[in-house]
Structure 1
Amino acid sequence: MTLDEAWEVLIQNQFKRTRNREIILEFLIAKDRYVTAMEVRNHMAADNPGVSFDTIYRNLSTFSELGILEETELNGERQFRMQCDHGVHHHHFICTDCGKTKNIPHCPMETLAVNLPGYEVEGHKFEVYGKCPVCVHP
């Protein structure tokens, strides 16, 4: 998702364009990986040392609820990244060292659904964790 697309979603949902939201979105676009709320806070603290962790976390949660961000849990902590391939069903390999992701276009639910006769699947999440080639061979 681009910055313009993110703002379009926010404005459609009655959210104002604020400097904090702008900084958060620009940071996430630049990182192109999963990041923690603390990483966002540390980035923002350079220009705005009084920025509230609650404000950052609330914005990240809102962005996630609106589909602007993807969210996962790594090492017991919520992490966020810009929505990628918006509208195209996919899954991710996530590097546990650097947080970079690689799209997995094949959905394992096609294979697993055979084992669920009579069940109605309402949603699923499939993520593969490990180390990317850069982190395996630094």
Structure 2
Amino acid sequence: MNLDEAWNILQKNEFKRTKNRDVILQFFAAHNRYLTAGDVKLHMEKDNPGISFDTIYRNLATFTELGILEETELTGERHFRMHCEPGVHHHHFICTLCGVTRNIPECPMDILSIDLSNYEIESHKFEVYGKCPQCIAS
């Protein structure tokens, strides 16, 4: 997802373009990894020392609900990243040290041997956690 796509989604859902939203979206667009609300706060405090976690979390929740951001939990904390390839079903490898991600295009649901024919599957999520080559080398 790029910034124009994100703003189109926000405008379709009648959200105004604000400086805080713009800074948050630009921050995520510049990083190909999962980030925490704390990462966002550190970045935003440079120009907006009074920014609250409430404001950040409210925007992160809105962006996630609208499909602009993806969310996962790492080490007991919520992490977010710009939604990659909207509409393309895929999964992720996530580095537990730096948060960098790599797409896994194959879906393990396709090879499940469990018979779920009497069940209605609403969604699923598959993530692989480990260390990326850069973190291993460090």
* TM-score class normalised by the smaller sequence: over 0.9
Deviations 1:15-63 (A, max 9, x none): 0000000000000011111000010001000110001110001000100
Q: Does 1:89 align with 2:86?
A: no
Residue in 2 that maps onto 1:10: 10
Q: Which residue of 2 aligns with 1:57?
A: 57
CA distance in 2: counterparts of 1:68 and 1:103, whole angstroms: 17
Query: In the alignment, what sits opposite 1:70?
Result: 70
Describe the superposition over 1:70-98 as per-residue Cα deviations: whole angstroms up to 9, x where unpaired. Answer: 11000101110001011100000000000
Question: Identical aligned pairs, as a percentage?
Answer: 67
Separation of aligned partners in 2, 1:64 and 1:117: 30
| Alpha-carbon distance, 1:121 to partner | 1.4
Distance of 1:88 and 1:98 partners within structure 2 = 24
**1:113 Cα shift?**
5.5
SS at match of 2:43: helix
How far apart, CA to CA, are the structure 2 residues paired with 1:19 and 1:119?
Answer: 45
The alpha-carbon deviation at position 114 of structure 1 amounts to 3.9
Q: Hey, what's the Cα distance between the residues in 2 that align with 1:14 and 1:109?
A: 36
Gap runs ≥5 in structure 1: none
Matched, 1:28 2:39: no
Aligned mates of 1:114, 1:69 — CA distance in 2: 31
TM-score, scaled relative to structure 1: 0.97
Runs of 4+ in 1 over 3 A off after TM superposition: none
SS state at 1:31 partner: coil
Q: How many pairs are equivalent?
A: 138
Cα distance between partner residues in 2 of 1:19 and 1:117: 48
Letter of the structure 1 residue corresponding to residue 37 of structure 2: A
What SS is found at the alignment partner of 2:4? Answer: helix
What letter is aligned with 1:126?
F
Distance 1:5 1:107, change over 3 A: same
